[in-house]
Structure 1
Amino acid sequence: MSGSGKVVCVTGASGYVASWLVNLLLQHHYTVRATVRDISDPKKVAHLKELQGSKERLHLFQADLNEDGSFDSAVDGCEGVFHAASPVFFSATDPQAELIEPAVNGTLNVLRSCRKASSVKRVVLTSSTAAVMVNKNPPNPDVILDETCFSDPVFCKEKELWYPLSKTLAEEAAWKFVEENGIDLVVMIPGLVFGPLLQPTLNFTSEIILNLLKEGREAFPVHSLIDVRDVARAHILALENFSASGRYLLVGTVISTSEVLEILAKLYPPLNHLGLDIIAEKLIDVGDLLSNQVSQEKVKRLGISFTPFEVSLKDTVESLKEKNFLSF
């Protein structure tokens, strides 16, 4: 990877995945235009300003997913655009306003800015396995899920699964827009993302581990997981590899809560007193599809090798301790 002389944009740069993406881009000598909702909020920007290379090659822009034209200045002059900004939470008082509109309209706003900018050669969109795995009639668990699979928005709405609905509709809108406007789009589809935090605040997946360790709650049954550093690398490879196209599932492992607990107990013997081995698993209402294996064939052709989950999990816990979210 070499980004010398190349200018790219990362939307939602203060987020978990996006922060790592900015970090890796700077390490590889890209000039990065990073958008955040509030440029004056130190929780959003302080950690980005501390990254190696930030003084020379990081430029911060304020932008809002719901504001038309908000991304124009950040995108103009960029060769590549990474659209990672999207709300990530699973319950909402007003799901339309809090999740769906920012996800869908925000994606279209960024793509409109890309359409205006003749410099943009490729857009890399961050989706989610939530846009792949949620269906009324899931396939047999023996079926391997791949990039041709999409979640059913009607079923998502019926079950009030607002986050999967937001990611599914955002990706649908993106594919329709780029087809009509001739934009080169590649979509990255990570599972639950684990690994160390760069940002000072908890993100959804690190909170899962924190709650599991501290209170034995919010355990996931079986899920597809990937290291945050692998996700960032895959995004950059998707930009740099001329032959990259379509969708890429990013799943390093499929694992159950009981297996996660076994690994934690092995890594951290002091945790045994918490009774981790008898914590009841809570099912997430996204159907039995979570037990399916996920194809790694296409993303491996892109050049990704996966970080072992044990490493990701240990690094997550150590990061939570370092940032004083956890002590034992």
Structure 2
Amino acid sequence: MNGGGKVVCVTGASGYIASWIVKLLLLRGYTVRATVQNPTDTAETEHLLALEGAKERLKLFKADLLEDCSFEQAIEGCDAVFHTASPVKFIVTDPQTELIDPAVKGTLNVLNTCKKTSSVKRVIVTSSTAAVLVRQPPLEPNDVVDETFFSDPSVCMERKLWYPLSKTLAENVACQFAKDNGMDMVVINPGFIIGPLLQPTLNFSVEIIVDMVKGKNPFNCRYYSFVDVRDVALAHVKALETPSANGRYIISGPSVTINHIKETMRELFPKLCIDDTNGEGLMDGVNCTICVDKVKNLGVEFTLLKSSLRDTIISLKEKWLL
């Protein structure tokens, strides 16, 4: 039990990654203070309260990314904070209000509270490969991407890639804040995340798999790279438990074609009617090599894509989401 006696906070705890982080922390003996938007909404809280160890060591707090000091109560007395709360949407009508403000202001709000709370020794921020891969000129198949690569906000704006813009701006302000305030901060940059769901509702990245089963190609891409949610959650916890952890950690699987993904799903679930895609691979998507040596050095081993796909689809069926 690594976390015996330690108190940590997880923001946006009802989300897909955050729920798994909470589960893992409880299993490792931590006391968890989890922030949610609405503690009375069972869709947000029921799956968290049902986790092993939750009765004894989980406490829920209401917090709002845009409300100053909203996280104070939850963070008070914590040894570490996992900041995962940030909206994930690719289709928005007002990018500033729906994505950028909650991502950027919310991050600063949480970090300001951490700065004022003397007990907090380390902050782990959930970013995304969306803050890594959007660049000019675009990445090529021979490029090897590592933690030194950052998305270019002006390219994101030009191409109206609002989600990557929100994650890039949020990570930039977080890094600047940590630098200015001598804060011990680690950033995790996951790719598209799949794997079983703890929460009862469909989240954006798993919806991609539902779309693929229905014969859609959600981004019209030929290449996708997925990573398992359990590996991503473990990377977050290892980033806390490894004293030498620092900077950014990219965690993403290899690029595979949409055809390969569909063939794998057909092989795993012959009875599942997986339609052929219309408009096959109109864009390549990002097909480059992502170096994941740094995250492997934390002790994270990658779940095979086939296992992740199998567990994702089983989970979707159990929750009546497929």
TM-score (norm 1): 0.95
Q: Match for 1:311: what amino acid?
A: S
Instruction: Tell me the equivalent position of 2:271.
Output: 270
Q: Which of residues 290, 298, 312 is equivalent to 2:286?
A: 290
Q: Is the 8 A contact 1:253 1:309 kept in 2?
A: no
Q: Match for 1:226: what amino acid?
A: V
Question: What is the deviation of 1:293?
Answer: 1.1
Question: What is the deviation of 1:282?
Answer: 4.8
Distance 2:99 2:264 in 1: 34
Q: Is the 8 A contact 1:76 1:117 kept in 2?
A: yes
Instruction: Tell me the equivalent position of 1:211.
Output: 211
Question: What is the deviation of 1:148?
Answer: 0.2
Report whether the alignment pairs 1:238 with 2:239.
yes
Q: Is the 8 A contact 2:252 2:290 kept in 1?
A: yes
Report whether the alignment pairs 1:325 with 2:321.
yes
Instruction: Tell me the equivalent position of 1:79.
Output: 79
Q: Match for 2:45: what amino acid?
A: V
- Structure 1 residues 210-267: Cα deviation after superposition (integer angstroms, max 9, x where no partner): 1221243415431221100000000000001000000000013321211101101111
SS of residue paired to 2:271: helix
Q: Is the 8 A contact 1:9 1:33 kept in 2?
A: yes
Instruction: Tell me the equivalent position of 2:39.
Output: 39
Q: Is the 8 A contact 2:212 2:274 kept in 1?
A: no
Q: Match for 1:182: what amino acid?
A: G
Instruction: Structure 2: give runs of 5+ residues left out of the alignment.
Output: none
Instruction: Tell me the equivalent position of 2:149.
Output: 149
Q: Is the 8 A contact 2:196 2:315 kept in 1?
A: yes
Q: Is the 8 A contact 2:139 2:286 kept in 1?
A: no
SS of residue paired to 1:314: helix
Instruction: Structure 1: give runs of 5+ residues left out of the alignment.
Output: none
Instruction: Tell me the equivalent position of 2:280.
Output: 281
Q: Is the 8 A contact 2:191 2:226 kept in 1?
A: yes
- Structure 1 residues 249-308: Cα deviation after superposition (integer angstroms, max 9, x where no partner): 00133212111011011111123x5443x5443556xxx661001001111111111000
Distance 2:259 2:160 in 1: 27
Instruction: Tell me the equivalent position of 1:316.
Output: 312
1:243-262 superposed matches below 5 A: 243-262=244-263
Q: Match for 1:75: what amino acid?
A: I
Distance 1:172 1:225 in 2: 24
Q: Is the 8 A contact 2:9 2:75 kept in 1?
A: yes
Q: Is the 8 A contact 1:139 1:289 kept in 2?
A: no
Q: Is the 8 A contact 1:252 1:307 kept in 2?
A: no
Q: Match for 2:315: what amino acid?
A: S
Q: Match for 1:7: what amino acid?
A: V
Instruction: Tell me the equivalent position of 1:221.
Output: 222
Report whether the alignment pairs 1:99 with 2:95.
no
Distance 2:274 2:308 in 1: 21
Q: Is the 8 A contact 1:133 1:289 kept in 2?
A: no
Q: Match for 1:248: what amino acid?
A: Y
Distance 1:283 1:178 in 2: 40
Distance 2:199 2:179 in 1: 35
1:15-94 superposed matches below 5 A: 15-94=15-94
Distance 2:118 2:282 in 1: 47
More helix by share: 1
Q: Match for 2:288: what amino acid?
A: N
Q: Is the 8 A contact 2:223 2:285 kept in 1?
A: no
